Amino acid sequence: MLLKKNSLVLKGALFIAASMVFVACGSDAPTDETIAPTEDSVVAEVQTEELTYSLPSPLQIASIFKKSGLKYKAGITSDLKDPAKYTSNLNKAINLGVYSADLSYAVLNKQNQEAMTYMKLSRQLADNLGMGTVFDQGNLSTRFEKNLSNEDSLAYIIAELQMVTDMYLDENDQQQITSIVFSGAWVESMYIGSKVYEKGKDKSLNGKLAEQMTILGSIINALKAEEKKDAAIGGLIADLVIVKDVYDALPSVKNNPAGEDDAEKELTLTDDEVTQLTTKIEVLRAKFING
Protein backbone atom coordinates (compact mmCIF):
# COMPACT_ATOMS: atom_id res chain seq x y z
CA MET A 1 0.00 0.00 0.00
CA LEU A 2 2.84 2.33 0.98
CA LEU A 3 4.58 1.41 -2.25
CA LYS A 4 1.45 2.23 -4.22
CA LYS A 5 1.13 5.64 -2.52
CA ASN A 6 4.79 6.39 -3.22
CA SER A 7 4.25 5.33 -6.79
CA LEU A 8 1.33 7.72 -7.04
CA VAL A 9 3.35 10.65 -5.69
CA LEU A 10 6.19 9.68 -8.03
CA LYS A 11 3.80 9.70 -11.00
CA GLY A 12 2.54 13.16 -10.04
CA ALA A 13 6.10 14.45 -9.58
CA LEU A 14 7.16 13.03 -12.94
CA PHE A 15 4.18 14.67 -14.61
CA ILE A 16 5.06 18.04 -13.07
CA ALA A 17 8.67 17.65 -14.13
CA ALA A 18 7.57 16.82 -17.66
CA SER A 19 5.27 19.85 -17.67
CA MET A 20 8.11 22.10 -16.54
CA VAL A 21 10.35 20.79 -19.31
CA PHE A 22 7.52 21.32 -21.78
CA VAL A 23 6.91 24.89 -20.60
CA ALA A 24 10.59 25.72 -20.50
CA CYS A 25 11.12 24.43 -24.04
CA GLY A 26 8.01 26.15 -25.36
CA SER A 27 8.86 29.58 -23.96
CA ASP A 28 12.21 29.87 -25.72
CA ALA A 29 11.90 31.25 -29.20
CA PRO A 30 14.20 29.50 -31.63
CA THR A 31 16.05 32.63 -32.63
CA ASP A 32 19.61 33.80 -32.31
CA GLU A 33 19.37 33.69 -28.52
CA THR A 34 21.62 30.63 -28.35
CA ILE A 35 24.44 32.77 -29.72
CA ALA A 36 25.95 34.77 -26.91
CA PRO A 37 26.61 38.30 -28.16
CA THR A 38 30.02 39.78 -27.66
CA GLU A 39 30.34 42.85 -25.46
CA ASP A 40 31.25 44.94 -28.52
CA SER A 41 28.16 43.99 -30.48
CA VAL A 42 25.91 44.84 -27.49
CA VAL A 43 27.40 48.31 -27.17
CA ALA A 44 27.53 49.09 -30.87
CA GLU A 45 24.04 48.14 -31.98
CA VAL A 46 21.13 50.41 -31.17
CA GLN A 47 17.75 49.40 -32.42
CA THR A 48 15.71 52.46 -33.33
CA GLU A 49 11.98 51.96 -32.96
CA GLU A 50 9.32 53.73 -35.02
CA LEU A 51 8.28 57.17 -33.80
CA THR A 52 5.06 57.15 -31.77
CA TYR A 53 2.70 60.04 -30.98
CA SER A 54 0.97 61.58 -27.99
CA LEU A 55 -1.94 63.70 -29.21
CA PRO A 56 -3.43 66.58 -27.19
CA SER A 57 -6.97 66.63 -25.80
CA PRO A 58 -9.98 68.30 -27.48
CA LEU A 59 -10.31 70.50 -24.40
CA GLN A 60 -6.82 71.92 -24.86
CA ILE A 61 -7.56 72.81 -28.52
CA ALA A 62 -10.80 74.52 -27.48
CA SER A 63 -8.92 76.33 -24.70
CA ILE A 64 -6.25 77.61 -27.14
CA PHE A 65 -8.95 78.98 -29.47
CA LYS A 66 -10.78 80.53 -26.54
CA LYS A 67 -7.62 82.30 -25.31
CA SER A 68 -7.10 83.71 -28.80
CA GLY A 69 -10.47 85.45 -28.56
CA LEU A 70 -12.82 82.88 -30.06
CA LYS A 71 -16.33 84.09 -29.25
CA TYR A 72 -19.41 81.94 -28.87
CA LYS A 73 -21.53 81.73 -31.98
CA ALA A 74 -24.89 79.98 -31.62
CA GLY A 75 -25.83 77.23 -34.01
CA ILE A 76 -22.41 76.24 -35.33
CA THR A 77 -21.93 73.09 -33.26
CA SER A 78 -23.18 69.72 -34.45
CA ASP A 79 -26.98 69.65 -34.60
CA LEU A 80 -27.21 65.95 -35.33
CA LYS A 81 -28.23 64.59 -31.98
CA ASP A 82 -28.96 60.96 -32.72
CA PRO A 83 -25.94 58.83 -31.88
CA ALA A 84 -27.79 55.66 -32.96
CA LYS A 85 -27.28 56.88 -36.54
CA TYR A 86 -23.62 55.92 -36.37
CA THR A 87 -23.20 52.20 -36.89
CA SER A 88 -19.52 51.58 -37.62
CA ASN A 89 -16.96 51.87 -34.83
CA LEU A 90 -15.05 54.40 -36.95
CA ASN A 91 -18.05 56.73 -37.26
CA LYS A 92 -18.93 56.30 -33.60
CA ALA A 93 -15.40 57.23 -32.54
CA ILE A 94 -15.16 60.16 -34.98
CA ASN A 95 -18.43 61.61 -33.75
CA LEU A 96 -17.49 61.05 -30.12
CA GLY A 97 -14.62 63.39 -30.99
CA VAL A 98 -17.01 65.86 -32.65
CA TYR A 99 -19.20 65.87 -29.52
CA SER A 100 -16.10 66.25 -27.30
CA ALA A 101 -15.08 69.37 -29.21
CA ASP A 102 -18.63 70.77 -29.04
CA LEU A 103 -18.78 69.96 -25.32
CA SER A 104 -15.48 71.78 -24.70
CA TYR A 105 -16.62 74.80 -26.76
CA ALA A 106 -19.91 74.97 -24.83
CA VAL A 107 -18.24 74.63 -21.42
CA LEU A 108 -15.59 77.28 -22.08
CA ASN A 109 -18.32 79.67 -23.26
CA LYS A 110 -20.62 78.98 -20.31
CA GLN A 111 -23.36 77.44 -22.44
CA ASN A 112 -24.48 75.14 -19.67
CA GLN A 113 -27.53 73.50 -21.20
CA GLU A 114 -25.73 72.91 -24.47
CA ALA A 115 -22.83 71.44 -22.51
CA MET A 116 -25.21 69.09 -20.71
CA THR A 117 -26.70 67.97 -24.03
CA TYR A 118 -23.25 67.16 -25.49
CA MET A 119 -22.24 65.39 -22.28
CA LYS A 120 -25.29 63.10 -22.61
CA LEU A 121 -24.65 62.54 -26.32
CA SER A 122 -21.01 61.71 -25.61
CA ARG A 123 -22.15 59.21 -22.99
CA GLN A 124 -24.52 57.56 -25.48
CA LEU A 125 -21.82 57.25 -28.12
CA ALA A 126 -19.34 55.94 -25.54
CA ASP A 127 -21.96 53.36 -24.51
CA ASN A 128 -22.32 52.35 -28.17
CA LEU A 129 -18.55 51.91 -28.31
CA GLY A 130 -18.66 49.74 -25.19
CA MET A 131 -16.81 52.23 -23.02
CA GLY A 132 -19.64 54.05 -21.29
CA THR A 133 -18.39 52.95 -17.86
CA VAL A 134 -15.69 55.64 -17.99
CA PHE A 135 -18.43 58.21 -17.32
CA ASP A 136 -19.25 56.46 -14.04
CA GLN A 137 -15.72 56.54 -12.68
CA GLY A 138 -15.37 59.06 -9.89
CA ASN A 139 -19.05 59.99 -10.42
CA LEU A 140 -18.02 62.13 -13.39
CA SER A 141 -21.53 62.40 -14.88
CA THR A 142 -23.10 63.35 -11.55
CA ARG A 143 -20.35 65.84 -10.73
CA PHE A 144 -20.77 67.42 -14.17
CA GLU A 145 -24.50 68.01 -13.54
CA LYS A 146 -23.87 69.38 -10.06
CA ASN A 147 -21.23 71.85 -11.26
CA LEU A 148 -23.04 73.17 -14.34
CA SER A 149 -22.77 76.77 -13.14
CA ASN A 150 -19.01 76.56 -12.53
CA GLU A 151 -16.99 76.75 -15.75
CA ASP A 152 -13.64 75.97 -14.08
CA SER A 153 -14.97 72.88 -12.32
CA LEU A 154 -16.54 71.64 -15.55
CA ALA A 155 -13.25 72.04 -17.41
CA TYR A 156 -11.47 70.00 -14.73
CA ILE A 157 -14.19 67.33 -14.87
CA ILE A 158 -13.81 67.09 -18.68
CA ALA A 159 -10.03 66.82 -18.27
CA GLU A 160 -10.56 64.01 -15.75
CA LEU A 161 -12.98 62.29 -18.13
CA GLN A 162 -10.27 62.48 -20.79
CA MET A 163 -7.79 60.88 -18.39
CA VAL A 164 -10.00 57.92 -17.46
CA THR A 165 -10.92 57.44 -21.12
CA ASP A 166 -7.25 57.40 -22.17
CA MET A 167 -6.48 54.91 -19.41
CA TYR A 168 -9.44 52.70 -20.32
CA LEU A 169 -8.43 52.58 -23.98
CA ASP A 170 -4.80 51.90 -23.08
CA GLU A 171 -5.73 49.07 -20.73
CA ASN A 172 -7.90 47.52 -23.44
CA ASP A 173 -5.31 47.98 -26.18
CA GLN A 174 -7.65 50.28 -28.14
CA GLN A 175 -5.30 53.21 -28.66
CA GLN A 176 -6.61 53.55 -32.22
CA ILE A 177 -9.88 54.87 -30.75
CA THR A 178 -7.93 57.68 -29.04
CA SER A 179 -6.46 58.80 -32.38
CA ILE A 180 -9.80 58.52 -34.23
CA VAL A 181 -11.68 60.44 -31.53
CA PHE A 182 -9.07 63.19 -31.63
CA SER A 183 -9.33 63.39 -35.44
CA GLY A 184 -13.07 64.07 -35.13
CA ALA A 185 -12.49 66.60 -32.36
CA TRP A 186 -9.74 68.38 -34.27
CA VAL A 187 -11.86 68.77 -37.44
CA GLU A 188 -14.82 70.05 -35.39
CA SER A 189 -12.58 72.53 -33.54
CA MET A 190 -11.13 73.78 -36.82
CA TYR A 191 -14.66 74.09 -38.20
CA ILE A 192 -15.81 76.15 -35.20
CA GLY A 193 -12.65 78.29 -35.36
CA SER A 194 -13.02 78.99 -39.06
CA LYS A 195 -16.74 79.81 -38.77
CA VAL A 196 -16.07 82.34 -36.02
CA TYR A 197 -13.12 83.73 -38.03
CA GLU A 198 -15.40 84.27 -41.06
CA LYS A 199 -17.40 86.78 -39.05
CA GLY A 200 -14.72 88.81 -37.25
CA LYS A 201 -11.50 88.17 -39.27
CA ASP A 202 -9.58 88.24 -36.01
CA LYS A 203 -5.81 88.11 -36.65
CA SER A 204 -5.08 86.12 -33.50
CA LEU A 205 -7.62 83.48 -34.48
CA ASN A 206 -6.08 83.34 -37.95
CA GLY A 207 -2.70 82.50 -36.36
CA LYS A 208 -4.27 79.78 -34.20
CA LEU A 209 -5.96 78.18 -37.21
CA ALA A 210 -2.57 78.06 -38.96
CA GLU A 211 -0.87 76.74 -35.83
CA GLN A 212 -3.37 73.91 -35.52
CA MET A 213 -2.50 72.83 -39.04
CA THR A 214 1.03 71.99 -37.84
CA ILE A 215 -0.28 69.01 -35.85
CA LEU A 216 -2.27 67.51 -38.71
CA GLY A 217 0.82 65.58 -39.84
CA SER A 218 1.12 64.07 -36.34
CA ILE A 219 -2.57 63.07 -36.36
CA ILE A 220 -2.16 61.36 -39.73
CA ASN A 221 0.98 59.53 -38.59
CA ALA A 222 -0.66 58.46 -35.32
CA LEU A 223 -3.55 57.01 -37.33
CA LYS A 224 -1.19 55.26 -39.74
CA ALA A 225 0.50 53.55 -36.79
CA GLU A 226 -2.88 52.11 -35.74
CA GLU A 227 -4.20 51.28 -39.21
CA LYS A 228 -3.65 47.53 -38.80
CA LYS A 229 -6.19 47.45 -35.95
CA ASP A 230 -9.03 48.76 -38.13
CA ALA A 231 -8.85 48.83 -41.91
CA ALA A 232 -11.47 51.62 -42.03
CA ILE A 233 -8.85 54.02 -40.64
CA GLY A 234 -7.33 54.15 -44.14
CA GLY A 235 -10.32 56.15 -45.44
CA LEU A 236 -10.01 58.65 -42.59
CA ILE A 237 -6.30 59.10 -43.29
CA ALA A 238 -7.04 59.76 -46.98
CA ASP A 239 -9.61 62.42 -46.03
CA LEU A 240 -7.18 64.18 -43.69
CA VAL A 241 -4.37 64.04 -46.24
CA ILE A 242 -6.58 66.04 -48.64
CA VAL A 243 -6.83 68.84 -46.06
CA LYS A 244 -3.09 68.71 -45.35
CA ASP A 245 -2.22 68.87 -49.05
CA VAL A 246 -4.36 72.00 -49.49
CA TYR A 247 -2.65 73.65 -46.51
CA ASP A 248 0.88 72.67 -47.58
CA ALA A 249 0.28 74.17 -51.03
CA LEU A 250 -0.78 77.59 -49.67
CA PRO A 251 1.78 80.32 -50.63
CA SER A 252 2.06 81.62 -47.04
CA VAL A 253 2.99 78.12 -45.85
CA LYS A 254 5.44 77.46 -48.68
CA ASN A 255 7.19 80.78 -48.01
CA ASN A 256 7.60 80.14 -44.29
CA PRO A 257 10.66 77.92 -43.89
CA ALA A 258 11.37 79.13 -40.34
CA GLY A 259 7.93 78.18 -39.02
CA GLU A 260 8.93 74.88 -37.42
CA ASP A 261 12.00 76.21 -35.59
CA ASP A 262 10.72 79.49 -34.22
CA ALA A 263 8.98 78.88 -30.92
CA GLU A 264 7.27 82.27 -30.95
CA LYS A 265 6.46 82.99 -34.56
CA GLU A 266 2.86 82.48 -35.63
CA LEU A 267 2.02 82.15 -39.29
CA THR A 268 -0.72 84.37 -40.71
CA LEU A 269 -2.78 83.20 -43.67
CA THR A 270 -4.50 85.48 -46.16
CA ASP A 271 -8.30 85.53 -46.11
CA ASP A 272 -8.35 83.69 -49.41
CA GLU A 273 -6.09 80.99 -47.96
CA VAL A 274 -8.32 80.63 -44.90
CA THR A 275 -11.30 80.24 -47.24
CA GLN A 276 -9.52 77.50 -49.20
CA LEU A 277 -8.73 75.68 -45.99
CA THR A 278 -12.19 76.24 -44.50
CA THR A 279 -13.88 74.81 -47.59
CA LYS A 280 -12.00 71.52 -47.20
CA ILE A 281 -12.65 71.39 -43.46
CA GLU A 282 -16.39 72.01 -44.03
CA VAL A 283 -16.62 69.16 -46.55
CA LEU A 284 -14.86 66.76 -44.20
CA ARG A 285 -16.89 67.84 -41.19
CA ALA A 286 -20.16 67.29 -43.12
CA LYS A 287 -18.91 63.82 -44.09
CA PHE A 288 -18.15 63.02 -40.45
CA ILE A 289 -21.49 64.20 -39.11
CA ASN A 290 -23.57 62.56 -41.83
CA GLY A 291 -21.84 59.26 -41.06
Query: 189 with 58: CB under 8 angstroms?
Result: yes
| Least separation in angstroms between CB 9 and another protein | 7
Selected from 151, 198, 202, 266, the binder of another protein by CB under 8 A is 266
Q: Does 237 bind another protein (CB under 8 A)?
A: no
- Which listed range, 12-20, 97-105, 122-130, 246-254, lies at the site for another protein (CB under 8 A)? 12-20
Angle, alpha carbons 12-17-22 (nearest 5°): 125
Q: Which residues from 107-166 bind another protein, rule CB under 8 A?
A: 155-156, 159-160, 162-163, 166
Give, as one character, the DSSP assignment of residue 77: S
CA–CA gap between residue 105 and residue 138 (Å, rounded): 23
Q: Does 84 bind another protein (CB under 8 A)?
A: no
CA–CA gap between residue 187 and residue 257 (Å, rounded): 25
Query: 207 with 197: CB under 8 angstroms?
Result: no
Q: Does 19 bind another protein (CB under 8 A)?
A: yes
For another protein, the closer of residues 8 and 241 by Cβ is 8
Residues 6+ apart with CB under 8 A from 71: 109, 196, 200
Q: Does 170 bind another protein (CB under 8 A)?
A: yes
- Which listed range, 77-85, 116-124, 211-219, 281-289, lies at the site for another protein (CB under 8 A)? 211-219
Sign of CA dihedral 145, 150, 153, 154: positive
For another protein, the closer of residues 5 and 254 by Cβ is 5
Q: What are phi and psi of 258, to 5 degrees?
A: -85, -10
Query: Does residue 195 sit in helix, strand or coil?
Result: helix
Residue ranges binding another protein (CB under 8 A): 4, 8-9, 11-13, 15-16, 19-20, 23, 27, 33, 36-37, 42-43, 45-49, 51-57, 59-60, 63-64, 67, 155-156, 159-160, 162-163, 166-167, 170-171, 211, 214-215, 218, 221, 260-264, 266
